């Protein structure tokens, strides 16, 4: 009785294990790779699946969700020998899981190295300024370069983004020194241009002032000539009015001279009338 019970118990346990190994519940977001006697047999989709116990085994459990791969930072040399430090991030999806697990040993490591190699090749054909300002261009060329390669592994590249592009510390110091020198040069040129324009304006101002002074002197000379002509024509041969006018002006001039602090003594001629006659050219 006890021996039969043990046999039944063993059979029940074997049946339970057999059923457990023959039923597979695949969660959403995954696909399971089944091997039969060591060889690829099929792929289990999410939900309830049945396999042959002891012959079929789940060899790989692969996610169908997008995978984010962080591409490590690396030094990249541009065409003009500038050193940049760049890293990226790639978004992939395993479209055909069996190709991903059987087509390459480690697809994540392979994609990371493929992105790094392609990135060095693309940036190596660009100048520093273009590499720093053309993220979208680099992204497009990078995606086109690796999409076809990883398609053979059943993997689709959703997108790849350039996370960071920055010059190396040594290159950054050189760029800062160059920028400072350029700012200094521009300031010097601007200051020189300003001084040049100021000198030109000052010279033009002096030239215009000289012209105005010359014109004023000409006008005054003409006015004096006209005044003399008018006075000469008015007085004719009459000596007394002219003598009076000149005498009055002479006296005023002497008064001004006497007010000067450097003039202590003013001597008037004894014969003022003859002196004034000498001014107007009459004996």
Residue 228 lies in a domain: yes
Q: What's the average model confidence in pLDDT over 22-48?
A: 89
Q: Are residues 242 and 228 in the same domain?
A: no
Write out the E strands in the chain.
23-26, 30-36, 39-44, 47-50, 56-63, 67-77, 83-94, 155-167
Residue 176 lies in a domain: no
Residue 220 lies in a domain: yes
Residue 91's φ and ψ, nearest 5 degrees, are: -115, 115
Q: What's the average model confidence in pLDDT over 103-110?
A: 89
Q: Which tens digits make up the pLDDT trace of 159-175?
A: 998 888 888 777 666 66
CATH, residue 82: 3.30.479.30
Confidence grade of residue 148 (pLDDT, cut at 50, 70, 90): confident
Q: Are residues 89 and 141 in the same domain?
A: yes
Q: Are residues 90 and 128 in the same domain?
A: yes
Q: Are residues 227 and 244 in the same domain?
A: no
Residue 172 lies in a domain: no
3-state secondary structure of 264: coil
| Separation of alpha carbons 69 and 91, rounded Å | 6
**Domain extent for 118:** 67-167
* Whether pTM exceeds 0.85: no
Residue 117 lies in a domain: yes
For strands 30-36 and 23-26, give the pairing: unpaired
Q: Which tens digits make up the pLDDT trace of 178-230?
A: 676 777 778 788 888 888 888 888 888 888 888 887 787 777 767 766 766 66
Residue 214 lies in a domain: yes
Q: What is the pLDDT of residue 272?
A: 52
> Is residue 92 predicted with pLDDT exceeding 90?
yes
* CA 205 from centre of chain: 42
Structurally, how many domains does the chain consist of?
A: 4
Residue 45's φ and ψ, nearest 5 degrees, are: -85, 165
Q: Are residues 83 and 148 in the same domain?
A: yes
Residue 201 lies in a domain: yes
Q: Are residues 131 and 193 in the same domain?
A: no
Q: Are residues 87 and 153 in the same domain?
A: yes
> Is residue 240 predicted with pLDDT exceeding 60?
no
Q: Are residues 249 and 217 in the same domain?
A: no
Q: Are residues 11 and 45 in the same domain?
A: yes
CB contact set of 159 (below 8 Å; sequence gap of 6+):
90, 91, 139, 143
Q: Are residues 139 and 159 in the same domain?
A: yes
Q: Are residues 130 and 76 in the same domain?
A: yes
Residue 150 lies in a domain: yes
- Pick the last residue of a domain from 142, 167, 192: 167
């Amino acid at each position: 009785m006890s021996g039969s019970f043990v046999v039944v118990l063993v059979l029940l346990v074997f049946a339970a294990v057999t059923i457990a190994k023959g039923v597979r519940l695949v969660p959403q977001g995954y696909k399971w790779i089944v091997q039969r006697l060591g060889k690829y047999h099929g792929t289990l989709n999410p939900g309830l699946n049945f396999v042959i116990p002891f012959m079929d085994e789940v060899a790989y459990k692969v996610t169908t969700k997008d995978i984010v791969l962080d591409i490590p930072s690396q030094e990249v040399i541009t065409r003009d020998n500038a050193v940049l430090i760049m890293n990226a991030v790639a978004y992939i999806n395993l479209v055909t899981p069996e190709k991903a697990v059987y087509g390459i040993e480690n697809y994540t490591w392979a994609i990371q190295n493929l992105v790094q190699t392609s990135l060095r090749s693309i940036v190596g054909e660009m100048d520093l300024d273009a590499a720093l300002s053309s993220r979208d261009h680099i992204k497009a060329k990078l995606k086109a370069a690796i999409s076809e390669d990883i398609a053979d592994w059943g993997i689709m590249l959703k997108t790849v983004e350039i996370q960071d592009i920055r010059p190396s510390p040594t290159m950054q110091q050189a760029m800062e020194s160059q920028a400072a020198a350029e700012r200094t040069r521009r300031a010097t040129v601007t200051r020189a241009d300003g001084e040049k324009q100021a000198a030109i304006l000052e010279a033009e101002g002096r030239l215009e002032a000289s012209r105005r002074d010359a014109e004023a002197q000409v006008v005054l000379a003409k006015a004096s000539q006209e005044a003399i002509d008018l006075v000469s024509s008015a007085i004719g041969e009459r000596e007394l009015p002219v003598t009076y006018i000149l005498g009055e002006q002479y006296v005023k001039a002497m008064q001004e001279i006497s007010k000067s602090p450097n003039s202590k003594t003013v001597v008037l001629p004894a014969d003022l009338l003859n002196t004034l006659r000498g001014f107007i050219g009459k004996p």
